[in-house]
Structure 1
């Protein structure tokens, strides 16, 4: 009987969560862990912050924050600069992030594509994915030029003011695109930022028709970006590839030739992922 019971249990389907716990109510939330993660995420946006400043920013007591930070420090997720008395993200955070990137072959397969794109165009090549209403930059190959665009892995940028962001919006499901446009805080960064929903939608229609998007000084004056979509084997957009640089080099008369290179690179990565490049 015992042996049959063991055999029966071994055949049960593995579960990722307890039965009937599909809801997201407070009963499933560990409040102390949630608070610790909030501290960790906030700290990740800082280059270094004192305990007192962090307390003021988050509205938490220094005693509570210190216990959280000390716990995270024991795991290497944060570290303390004794000389400057500042807390900052630790090396284990990068290790965890790197493991996330290795979960998919996207970043690994993109590296040679990005490098070839940079060498061909002479401009910084970027890879980004959607994260809520922002672009998360996950890989970059910098140009050799002295003046360059710089979006280190882990950087975030609003979808509406980013070349990759607009490529993602233009080629995603229309319902999802409309929902993101309506819900997003379309902040104005420069006089060229497309803040009005109708204006942005028209720009996305044009981007989809030609196969690439343009960020024409919409986030940073003097910088231009050209981006194209990357698809998976389901035909879903999963990322965007771009080149970015100063308008003195990425000039209006070079947009067409640079766009051809970017679309080719995006198509090559799409093919490497088992997808089919967009036809234009």
Structure 2
């Protein structure tokens, strides 16, 4: 008698993502959570419009999520917000890797030395997901709360990762996500973007020159794993009147050094 060993935690149909192997009610509830997280303070009717779900169905999902602490309702204003339960579960993601812990000291040092906000992000589903930041004490500053997402082609961290990803991977992201314009400075032409990525790779860091938001610049460098693959990025970001292109070039080496130190701390290697 022979038997096959199945991968732990995975059923036989693990790779089958067809509708018959998904729980539709759960999928709808998670879609609601995503909208509440991205657009806090919406009323039930507004959430129904955003999600395309019937009000009664949506209310049942929200009530269920509320009992688990995933969402909260402001009873006075009758609007919905993400709950502490979602934060607790999200924090478990951060504990999967020691990149956040290993990056903190370098980010704090960068903030003190440059006077600008330091950020840490990773690629998640072909976007940049910001994990944490160390804010500057300046009144005017960049702010990316944990969980914020951004398109890769208009983000300093996103471009730092793209510059060291395999060309096929970069092409896949461009095809799936496109190159939308957010400002007059956004690189919406693939050839222009690839030329910019070549420059980033040559100097060791990427620059978001007001490409996502007018008046804001960002300098970023990648963090590598043991295989020399870019797995995260560190950046500093601030207003363009303070973070000039000249200063950006000067600070680039500091950002690169901070990223390399994290790479070494997690046992990675720079390619």
Question: What band does the TM-score fall into relative to the shorter chain?
Answer: over 0.9
| Structure 2 residue 104 is the aligned partner of structure 1 residue 111 | yes
Contact 1:228–1:241 at 8 Å: present in 2 too? yes
Choose the corresponding residue for 2:25, options 8, 32, 39.
32
Q: How does 1:55-204 map to 2 (within 5 A)?
A: 55-204=48-197
- In 1: Cα distance, 2:259 partner to 2:72 partner: 38
SS in 1 for 2:113: helix
Q: TM-score, normalised by structure 1?
A: 0.92
Q: Could you tell me which residue of structure 2 aligns to residue 210 of structure 1?
A: 203
Q: Shift of the alpha carbon at 1:155?
A: 0.8
Change (3 A) 1:63 1:13: closer
- In 2: Cα distance, 1:238 partner to 1:21 partner: 25
- Residues 213-237 of structure 1 show CA distances to partners (whole Å, capped at 9, x for unaligned) of 1111111111111111100111110
- Residues 109-158 of structure 1 show CA distances to partners (whole Å, capped at 9, x for unaligned) of 11111111111111111111011231111010011111111111111111
Contact 1:182–1:197 at 8 Å: present in 2 too? no
Contact 2:35–2:50 at 8 Å: present in 1 too? no
Contact 1:129–1:240 at 8 Å: present in 2 too? yes
Contact 2:6–2:12 at 8 Å: present in 1 too? no
CA RMSD of aligned residues (A): 1.5
Q: TM-score, normalised by structure 2?
A: 0.95
Change (3 A) 1:229 1:21: closer
Contact 2:107–2:258 at 8 Å: present in 1 too? yes
- In 1: Cα distance, 2:209 partner to 2:255 partner: 16
SS in 1 for 2:237: strand
- In 1: Cα distance, 2:83 partner to 2:13 partner: 37
- State the 4+ residue runs in structure 1 displaced beyond 4 angstroms: none
SS in 2 for 1:136: strand
Q: Could you tell me which residue of structure 2 aligns to residue 44 of structure 1?
A: 37
Gaps of 5+ in 1: 1-11
Number of aligned pairs?
268
Gaps of 5+ in 2: none
